Amino acid sequence: MGLTYKKEEQLRRMPIIQSRIKASRNGKYIIQQTIITNVKPIEYYQAILANTVKVTDEPLGEDELMIEDGSEIAKNTL
């Protein structure tokens, strides 16, 4: 069973993620490189550069924020 047209279009719009892992020349380190390739139409970037997209700041209430101490999160996940 093949993919639907909608799913194929969705996959085409997703970024291409490549990951490479190799050892350093002296063999002491592992080098992990991730390349994210995202293809968008030129009109998208022209609109951004022309600042035609209006962004408004909206204040957030305290009930909309989730602030946790990073060290506490690390303790809970280990």
> pLDDT for 1-40, tens place per residue?
688 988 888 888 888 999 999 999 999 999 999 999 988 8
Q: Where are the domains of the chain?
A: 1-55
Give the pLDDT score at 57.
76
pLDDT at residue 69, as a whole number: 65
- The answer to whether the predicted template modeling score (pTM) of the entire model surpasses 0.85 is no
Report the pLDDT value the prediction gives residue 8, as an integer from 0 to 100: 86
Helix (H) or strand (E) holding 35: strand 30-37
* Across 52-64, average pLDDT: 70
What sign does the CA torsion over 53, 51, 37, 34 have? negative
Locate 6 and state its tokens: 């909608």
Going by C-beta distance under 8 Å and a sequence separation of 6 or more, which residues neighbour residue 35? Answer: 17, 18, 19, 20
The residue to which tokens 């970037």 are assigned: 45
Structure tokens at 31: 């080098």
